[in-house]
Each structure stands twice: as structure tokens, then as C-alpha cells.
Amino acid sequence: MSLPRSAFMLARPSSLPPHSRAAWRRSLASAAATTTGTAGKPPTAIVMMNMGGPSTIPEVHGFLSRLFHDHDLIPLPAQRILAPIIAKRRTPKIEQQYTDIGGGSPILKWTKEQGRQMCELLDELNPATAPHKPYVAFRYANPLTETCLEEMEADGVKRAVAFSQYPQYSCSTTGSSLNELYRVARSKNGWGGNGEVEWSVLDRWPAHPGLVDAFAQNIRKALAQYPADRRDHVVLLFSAHSLPIEIVNRGDPYTAEVAATVHAVMHKLNYSNPWRLTWQSQVGPRAWQGPQTSDAIVGLAKQGKKDICLVPIAFTSDHIETLYELDIEVKEEAEKLGIHLTRAESLNDSPIFIRAIADLVSTHLTEHSEGKIGPTSKQILLHCPGCTNPKCGHTKAWLATGGKGATA
């Protein structure tokens, strides 16, 4: 019988000095070894990686500070100087937005629920690698990568899958999360980066049949709200988080993979409606991938379109980009233009989606254990043609060894 995690987590390691932190980890490993020895083998860790969001209003500033300090996501000149200034200035406005959607982001709630249901299915689908346990590693909000690895160490994990919750790969999202995993695991007082864990990576899945089915089902539900004589003429406006053009022009695959998801979904729907792919969440004065979702709605209104259904196509759950940016800001703008705007539900706890990610991980685990695939996909090992980030090479070399400690 396992001890409750509280027995291991009385003091947060982030509050301890480095030498005490190392001792804390050794005590966790000893306790975990004792408990897993009686309870059976340690879990196979399914590490669910995403940007995250502040669960409470007091967490907003820390979230923004981490976000604007991340050069992989938002490249800024003099980043260490500008990032804290921008974060401080934007905090009151973003705090109000999170207040307007209920006092915080629901992304942690949905990620935990998706992981719980996924691992229940995985235990049935893959008894050889059971038990499976979900861990959350957010890039900018709690629980951060450090916390995730601490929990894994406490549980005595030996096998882990770094599972990106971004279906479409970008160096600025999945790439940033993997760089952070490498940095933390390989740091002086880190754990998990020197062969303690056998890692493999699920870095992208833009056209997975289950993902496509889940999106298609939610679109059908949204279209069913329209009268039959208008339904086939509703414009489907797929909306994804944008990227700075300089990242796109380096050869980042994100925009192409988002387009692949959109095309697969429309094929599933038998091209029932007119559609366009648009982009949202631009930050700052630099050029970003367009057209912006709000600008596209203005343009469609000028063409006389009255019915538009938004489809968040690069998100696997609700968070501020859907609940505030689309449901409040964009909807208000559309109403002023005389547009009847609806939105397809986010994937959240969709049974089709949960089954899809369980099947995806199950296949990955089976093929990896049978030697049919390596720790990484071939695609992730290919650098963008215009890559300027030296961190990527170290991370990818480490991942290619299954986390055994090699660096580029």
C-alpha cells in the first residue's frame, strides 16, 4: 500500500537551498523505492506538456513573467530587461480577463481529467506497461516542469513518455517545453536527465483519426444549432494561436501542421461548409501569421456573411484564448457587425478525444517496446532550415538517446 503523497511533500523543494534540495530528493527516492517495492512496479509516466495557465488570479503575474521571458515563444530584444516590464504592465489587464472567465484558467482541471481518463484506458489497452499515471508539466504555470519531475522521482518512475498536448508541433510551443524538460532534468540538482528514466516522445499528432473525429463531432453539434436552410452555408472559421512571422519563415512546421488538421477535419465532414483558417492571440507590434481571426470576421461581414462558427483547432481544452478571446472579445465584435457567431465546443472531456489520446499513447508504447520506433520521431530530429537556437540541438540529441545523458 502506497503512502500518501503528502508524506513526501511536506516541504516544497523550491524553498530549499541546493544541498538540502538534493537531500530531499534522495529521501523521496528512498521512500518511493520502499513503497513501490510493496505495491508493485512504479508507474509508466505519461507527462502531459502544455503552456498552462494561472489557476488563480495571484498566479497571473508569474505566468506572464515566465511567458515573456521565453525567447522560444516570444523573441524580444533585450529580453531580460523588457520581459519583466511587459509582464508588470500587462498583469492588471490579464487579471481582469481571468476574473471575467471565473477567476482562473480551467486548463489544469481539464488536463488532469483528460490524463486520468486516458490512463484508465491505457491500463486496459497496455497491461504490459501498466500501471500508467498522468503527470502535468506546464511551461508557464503551476505545476511547472520542476514539480512534475519531483513527483515522478517520488513515485520511482523508470519509464516516461513526454506527450505534447499541442497536436501540431512548433519550436515555440512543444519545442520550448522539451527544451525546458532537458534544462531542468540535466541541471546540477536535477533528476531524470542522466539515465534514471527511459524517455520517449510524442511530439505531434495533427491528423490522428481520433483527434479528427473529435473535432468533427463538435462541429456537427455546433452546426445542428442552425436552421436547416442555413446550416450548409455557415462559414467554419478555424482559429489557431498565431506565431511571429520570423518563426514561420525559419521553417517552423506549425502552420503547415495546423492546415493539415483543418483539411483532415473538413474531409471527415465531406466538405459540408465553406471554411477558412485564421489566427489569434497576436502579442506586440511585430508581424505575426495572419489573417487574424477578428480581421477575418470583419472581412466576411463586408461580404454579407451572417453565420459563422468558430472552431478552436490547435487547443485540446478551454482556456483564456477560447473563453475570453473568442467567447467574449471576438463575439462582441461579431455582434456589432450583425454576425450570428457560434463556437464549436473545445475537446475537454470528449469521450472520442479521450479514446484518441489513449490509443495514440498505447500504440506509441507498444511500438517502442517492440523496437519498431525509437525514442523520437524522425521529424523532430530535423532542425528548421533557418534554426537559430543552439538549445534545440542539445535537447534533440538527449531525446534521441532516450534521456541517457548524451548532449550535442
Residues 6+ apart with CB under 8 A from 4: none
Write down the catalytic residue from 61, 69, 132, 208: 208
Exactly one of 123, 327, 349, 359 is catalytic; name it: 359
Q: Quick count: other Cβ atoms within 10 Å of Cβ 381?
A: 13
Q: CA 306 to CA 325: how far, in whole Å?
A: 20
Sign of CA dihedral 247, 249, 253, 259: positive
Instruction: Say if residue 184 is exposed, middle or buried (CB neighbours under 10 Å; 0-12, 13-18, 19+).
Output: buried
Alpha-carbon distances, residue 38 vs 3, 217, 296 (angstroms): 11, 44, 59
Do the Cβ atoms of 384 and 391 come closer than 8 Å?
A: no
Instruction: Name the DSSP class of 118.
Output: H
**Cis bond upstream, residue 253 (ω within 30):** no
- The residues pairing with 10 across neighbouring beta strands, listed in sequence order, are none
Scan for cell 463575439, then name that residue. Answer: 331
Q: How far is CA 160 from the centre of its chain?
A: 17
Residue with cell 508539466: 137
Distance CA 145, CA 192 (A): 11
Q: Look-up: residue for cell 505575426? A: 288
72 is catalytic: no
Distance CA 108, CA 98 (A): 14
Catalytic residue check, 208 = yes
What strands lie across the sheet with 159-164, from one edge to the other? 132-138, 44-50, 159-164, 198-202
Residue 110 CA to its chain's centroid (Å):
12
Residues in the chain: 408
Q: Alpha-carbon distance 149 to 116, whole Å?
A: 18
Tell me, what DSSP letter sits at residue 307? Answer: E
- What gap in Å lies between CA 242 and CA 278, rounded to an integer? 8
**Count of beta carbons in the 10 Å neighbourhood of residue 311:** 25
CA distance 232 to 227: 9
Task: Please list the active-site residues.
Answer: 208, 359
